[in-house]
Chains A and B, each alone.
Chain A
């Protein structure tokens, strides 16, 4: 989860987020190099006293600074496109979880075996325990087995919401009348936090998400225990 002084991405817990983090670092490196180069050029232009009365063109440098940015863009675009298509891929999921956004809570449906439905509301600050996270804790967490392919289907019952869990690399709009499909795999057992990421009304900030990745057989026990 995100805590104080978290300036960069959260620790990843899924292979997709691992890829996204690598891509982010790759791109940031290129951005930093460009920024340093440009500011160095600006500074040296401002500070030097050199002049050249007859300078009109420099064919070589012009060719280089036309082609080089194109190559840099390709170096960013290719891995980006690759990632885009990897993120879309869903192969052979074991479970489908339906997520429905409401004003202002999320409801979840697991209907592969039994039809399990529950709503997930934020716990108000007054009712929190001292070890809980303010504005992040919910009454019903969303359990799912780790190291298992899961298909998420996101939709909304009223306005547009966005179901987001940063450490899983998922941000998917929940749109009324449309079902959006996404892919979820967790590397490890943990609790992952997220929040609605599309302004959806007065209580937009108060509809957090908690995912709980657990051992597959514990998840099965949970499914079986639900009537």
Chain B
């Protein structure tokens, strides 16, 4: 299984950096983490469109949104992006 970082080494302990969950984000210190999750999801898709799909730099965003967003939400948003009715303007996909 992929952990979002493109790193598939087996985990040895809870302190393993491959296993550790995302750190707290200084921009999102509220108990309400809704916006944190959404921002990370949008940032990931912006990043992928700007830097090309599968770019290593975008892995961090993916790791965070995968860790904190409920899978159902992610599924819904991905469907919206596919259908073109996602509420945020994303940059054009880069052609490789």
Residues of A within 8 A of B (CB): 88, 90-96, 98, 100, 109, 111-115, 117, 145, 148, 151, 153, 155, 157, 177-182, 216-217, 219-220, 223-224
In the complex the two chains form, is A92's CB within 8 Å of B71's CB? no
Given A94-B20, A113-B11, A217-B13: A100 and B72 interface contact (C-beta under 8 Å): yes
> Do the beta carbons of B71 and A117 come within 8 Å of each other?
yes
Task: Name 20 A/B residue pairs within 8 A (Cβ), A-sorted.
Answer: A92-B24, A94-B19, A94-B21, A98-B68, A98-B70, A109-B70, A111-B71, A113-B19, A115-B66, A115-B71, A178-B32, A178-B34, A179-B69, A179-B70, A180-B31, A180-B32, A181-B31, A216-B13, A220-B13, A220-B19
CA distance A13 to B37 in the complex (A): 30
**Given A93-B21, A148-B14, A181-B33, A114 and B1 touching (CB < 8 A)?**
yes
Chain A residues with CB below 8 A from B22, complex form: 96
Task: Pick the most buried of B13, B21, B34, B72: most chain A CB atoms within 10 A of its CB.
Answer: B21
Interface size band for B = 20 to 34
Interface of B is mostly: loop
- Chain A residue with the shortest CB-CB distance to B22: A96
Partner of B31, one of A109, A155, A182, A217: A182
B interface with A by C-beta (< 8 Å): 1, 3, 10-15, 18-24, 30-34, 36-37, 66-72
In this complex, which of A96, A100, A219, A224 has the most chain B Cβ atoms within 10 angstroms of its Cβ? A96
**A residues near B32, Cβ cutoff 8 Å:** 178-181
What 6 pairs across the A-B complex have the smallest Cβ distances? A179-B33, A96-B21, A114-B1, A181-B33, A112-B21, A179-B34
From A148, A151, A219, name the one whose CB has the most chain B CB atoms within 10 angstroms.
A151
Q: How far is the CB of B61 from chain A (nearest CB, A)?
A: 14
Tell me whether A180 and B3 are in contact (CB under 8 A).
no
